[in-house]
Amino acid sequence: MDINLAGRTAVVTGGSKGIGLAVVRQLAASGAHVITGAKSLSPEIEALAQDKQVIFAETDLADPEGPARLVSMAGDRVHILINNVGNARVRPGGFLSITDDDWVTSLALNLMAAVRATRAALPGMLAAGSGAIVMTCSVNARLPDPAVLDYSAAKAGLAAFAKALSKEVGPHGIRVNTVSPGPVATDLWLGSDGVAATVSHATGVEPGDVERQAAAGSVTGRFSQPSEVADLILYLASDQAANITGADFIIDGGLIPTW
């Protein structure tokens, strides 16, 4: 499918690596002007930013002012907002090991960053009578996991936020959808301090075996690729999805066993 986003301005939170980086690449390849931010600049996003079509800003999106600062770089009009930033910390010590600070940190990045970025972008969308908002959620919103308990709760909140918001702003021409990946081949899962490595350290199981066990939970027997998730996000951000709103799209290789 040929998606043409020429003339559109898109803001992507957490676009320096993983799913966010794949989304930035595909938005830019489709002609959009992309503003993205994260705490640190990766070599991949630095290379993309050599072209003026992509602008990167180092910003802490967990900071209460961070999302609005990023959105403000787009000027008065944001056509597409991709609320992608997030992080999952494995809690091998269980619920009682999760402190108030842990909860605040998780909620700030996995829920409140999206709330704040949306709050900043929405007035311009309402004034224009159009806009597309896509939020990177997670299967853990439906399959809460005690190993990532606070993350699961935050993503469930994100799903509820997106659904409720879609009902409010849909009559004003603004679409809001979520994409819920299962395990994805990114640093969040496979990095040196990712889920597989953390579980390995806590259990003594080799990281590769942790990864294989997680992949085996899917019908397809593999992790999704960031580009596959980005394909879905790009479609939902485009005019081809003009009558889709308030929906959650699962990309998990069949991990969730119900429908």
Helix/strand/coil (H, E, C) string of the chain? CCCCCCCCEEEEECCCCHHHHHHHHHHHHCCCEEEEEECCCCHHHHHHCCCCCEEEEECCCCCCCHHHHHHHCCCCCCCEEEECCCCCCCCCCCHHHCCHHHHHHHHHHHHHHHHHHHHHHHHHHHHHCCEEEEEECCHHHCCCCHHHHHHHHHHHHHHHHHHHHHHHHHHHCEEEEEEEECCECCHHHHCCCCHHHHHHHHHCCCHHHHHHHHHHCCCCCCCECHHHHHHHHHHHHCHHHCCCCCCEEEECCCCCCCC
What are the tokens at 230?
Answer: 């980005």
230 domain residue, yes or no: yes
16 domain residue, yes or no: yes
Q: Tell whether 217 and 230 lie within a shared domain.
A: no
Q: Tell whether 217 and 242 lie within a shared domain.
A: no
197 domain residue, yes or no: yes
Catalytic one of 56, 151, 161, 189: 151
Q: Tell whether 59 and 30 lie within a shared domain.
A: yes
Report how far residue 32's alpha carbon sits from residue 243's, in angstroms, rounded to the nearest whole number: 21
Q: Tell whether 211 and 150 lie within a shared domain.
A: no
53 domain residue, yes or no: yes
Q: Tell whether 149 and 196 lie within a shared domain.
A: no
Report how far residue 194's alpha carbon sits from residue 33's, in angstroms, rounded to the nearest whole number: 31
Q: What is the structure's pLDDT at 194?
A: 83
Q: What is the structure's pLDDT at 2?
A: 84
Nearest in space to 28 (alpha carbons), one of 46, 1, 55: 55
147 domain residue, yes or no: yes
Q: Tell whether 59 and 151 lie within a shared domain.
A: yes
Q: Tell whether 206 and 241 lie within a shared domain.
A: no
Q: Tell whether 114 and 129 lie within a shared domain.
A: yes
Q: Tell whether 151 and 194 lie within a shared domain.
A: no
The whole domain housing 219 covers 189-223
Q: Tell whether 78 and 39 lie within a shared domain.
A: yes
174 domain residue, yes or no: yes
Number of domains in the chain: 2
Q: Tell whether 90 and 207 lie within a shared domain.
A: no
Report how far residue 111's alpha carbon sits from residue 132's, in angstroms, rounded to the nearest whole number: 18
Q: Which residue has the tokens 């809460």?
A: 144
Q: Tell whether 27 and 67 lie within a shared domain.
A: yes
Identify the bridge partners of residue 12 per DSSP, sorted by sequence position.
36, 82
4 domain residue, yes or no: no
Angle at 184 between CA 178 and CA 189, to 5 degrees: 120
| Domain at 143, CATH number | 3.40.50.720
The neighbour count for residue 239, using CB atoms within 10 Å, is 11
235 is catalytic: no
Give residues with Cβ within 8 angstroms of 121, minimum separation 6: 11, 71, 74, 78, 81, 131, 133
Q: Are 167 and 246 in contact (CB under 8 A)?
A: yes
Q: What is the pTM of this model?
A: 0.95
pLDDT tens digits for the chain (259 residues)? Answer: 689 999 999 999 999 999 999 999 999 999 999 999 999 989 999 999 898 899 999 999 999 999 999 999 999 899 999 999 999 999 999 999 999 999 999 999 999 999 999 999 999 999 999 999 999 999 999 999 999 999 999 999 999 999 999 999 999 999 999 999 999 998 888 888 888 888 888 888 898 988 898 898 899 999 999 999 999 999 999 999 999 999 999 999 999 987 7
Q: What is the structure's pLDDT at 188?
A: 83
Report how far residue 10's alpha carbon sits from residue 20's, in angstroms, rounded to the nearest whole number: 12
Q: What is the structure's pLDDT at 18?
A: 95
77 domain residue, yes or no: yes
Q: What is the structure's pLDDT at 29?
A: 96
